[in-house]
Amino acid sequence: MNPSPPFLLFFYLILLLTQDFPAFSLRFSPSQPNLTLYGDAFFRGHTISLTQQQPCFPTPSPPNCSSSGLGRALYVYPIKFLEPSTNTTASFSCRFSFTIIASPSCPFGDGFAFLITSNADSFAFSNGFLGLPDPGVDPHGSFIAVEFDTSFDPIHGDINDNHVGIDVNSIVSVASVDAISRGIDLKSGREMMVWIEYSDVLKLIRVWVGYSRVKPKSPVLSARIDLAGKFKEYMHVGFSASNALGSAFHIVERWKFRTFGSHPDAVQEDDDWLVCFENPRTNHRYGLDVRVSVVGLRIPFWSLLPGLATIVVLTAFIAYSLIRGKKRTVCEGGGLNRVPGRLSLAEIKSATSGFNESTIVGHGASATVYRGSIPTVGSVAVKRFDRAHWPQCNRNPFTTEFTTMTGYLRHKNLVQFQGWCSEGTETALVFEYLPNGSLSDFLHKKPSSDPSEEFIVLSWKQRVNIILGVASALTYLHEECERQIIHRDVKTCNIMLDAEFNAKLGDFGLAEVYEHSSMLAGRNATLPAGKVLDGVDVMLKEEFDAEEMERVLMVGMVCSHPDCDKRPRVKEAVRIIRGEAPLPVLPARRPLLRIQLTMDAEEMIADSLGGEELPWMTPKSHF
């Protein structure tokens, strides 16, 4: 028998009161800077570059050179890592992504490091030190670093110029590994994902590195280290890099860090790198983004945590008791939102009868879509990715779609994400199954000669409803999410239809996530020249509202205008379709598309830091 919620709350209260180390968590947010920058480090857009470009000198830089060659970014407040009374060290976990981009015609710099140090102001200016602390300057200081070294210096025990190492109070690594041998090239210019975990119970630090945002199964490096004898009570956390005689940008793009006690249950998995939270200015409630601002309080602040936690849990217990009956009624009346979870490969194979060909409902360049059934969910569409085609894609299509969808997107006009699987060589995403397939099927399918096969023509009313449904989904993605999501591949085969022919936008394999801006993507107009109503589908047989049809076609053309400044926002397009705004003014002839280089050299360098990659073909999926 499952324990009751009141009992679980009581058990959690006891756990809080007996927890042996306070937990701490932080997330880097460019909109809320919580980092201190040192040396050459600077904010560039929504990333941090720890170093700057500098001339390549055969000898150290001259005195008048504005670049110091090294930089750091540290969290603004020191974090408690050691409990002196028990000599217990906090365990910690960290995730971040970084890129190293060398300057043209210059060798790479020293490299980049994740750093925990007792002295934020101690720097080693010598070549090969990656800007880490200098034990000779501060003999009583302490630090630990995970280095990503791109310079070979045998004096410091380097194994080559492309390795990962763990340093403790010295630039000479206690453990290191050739990155190339593990399938990672630190000099590739690609964004790399890193996971670092330290367990105080096991006295073990482990490092994972990969190009995907899905954590690899095996670490590239691990070492047995007891940090209790190395750490001070409070330490600074962040990153360090240096160029020495080379020149490269060392860029940090994402970062999450947390400490926790020795209780294994205190560790929470949180795999949503790209989270689509509702903008607080809107009234909808699709998610909650809680950001905690840590002030400069130390021991008194931490001592308040157990008491505050007790108050919160007791309040929750009382609230649960008061609304227990009402809550049960609400839950019985409608389904609860389920957070997409990880599924085993056995569950996926069971759902699709072992990926049986008879269950295939869609094919594409990077994936095959199967219809299946999962007992806890019902009918589903399983999108199975083909790794053999990933090299042609220039990036991982599974990762792109997974990291977008795990933002817990909830909207009635978006295909709902139900779960995922990454096991061995198999990767798959699971979505709700939509029985009517894609809009493309209904617009382009020809009547069959078989009289028993039903041929459905979408009515004009259904088509307008589909257009407005897609517009609602795009408005949600573009304007109602805290982080703007640009789909970049809206087409009829990616617009799915449920049993009532309501539109649901799917296939986020090309999606990009931005901070709010005026970024636009689309296709050129494809209607032939002539009268607007010449574009009407003959299958409608004149059964439509001519005035409404004209508005829809005019909106279609203005949304495809080659000049992006003349395209309306999605909300404005909807108002035109509904007759709430005047028709757009279009030129008599279709405008020509002109592309002009408007970026100067500095902007071109900045643009190169974004790592924009070529898109790949996406499957025509039937959900």
DSSP letter (8 states) at residue 180: G
Active-site choice (40, 200, 489, 498)? 489
φ/ψ of 111, rounded to 5, equals 140, -160
Task: Kindly give, in sequence order, each residue whose CB lies less than 8 Å from that of residue 157, ignoring residues fewer than 6 positions away.
Answer: 172, 173, 176
Task: Kindly give, in sequence order, each residue whose CB lies less than 8 Å from that of residue 109, ignoring residues fewer than 6 positions away.
Answer: 51, 69, 100, 102, 150, 151, 241, 242, 243, 244, 246, 247, 248, 250
Unique residue bearing structure tokens 């482990």: 206
Question: Cα–Cα distances in Å, from 586 out to 560, 576, 579, 594?
Answer: 11, 14, 17, 17
β-sheet bridge partners, residue 239: 73, 114
Strands 341-342 and 367-374, how do they pair? unpaired
CB burial of residue 140 (10 Å; 0-12, 13-18, 19+): exposed
d(CA 151, CA 142): 24
SS3 53: coil
- Is there a catalytic annotation at residue 386? no
d(CA 370, CA 336): 26
Task: Kindly give, in sequence order, each residue whose CB lies less than 8 Å from that of residue 311, ignoring residues fewer than 6 positions away.
Answer: none
β-sheet bridge partners, residue 367: 385
d(CA 185, CA 190): 9
383 annotated to a ligand binding site: yes
Task: Kindly give, in sequence order, each residue whose CB lies less than 8 Å from that of residue 545, ignoring residues fewer than 6 positions away.
Answer: 460
| Binding-site residue set | 383
Query: Which sequence positions are flagged as catalytic?
Result: 489
| Binding-site residue set for ATP | 383
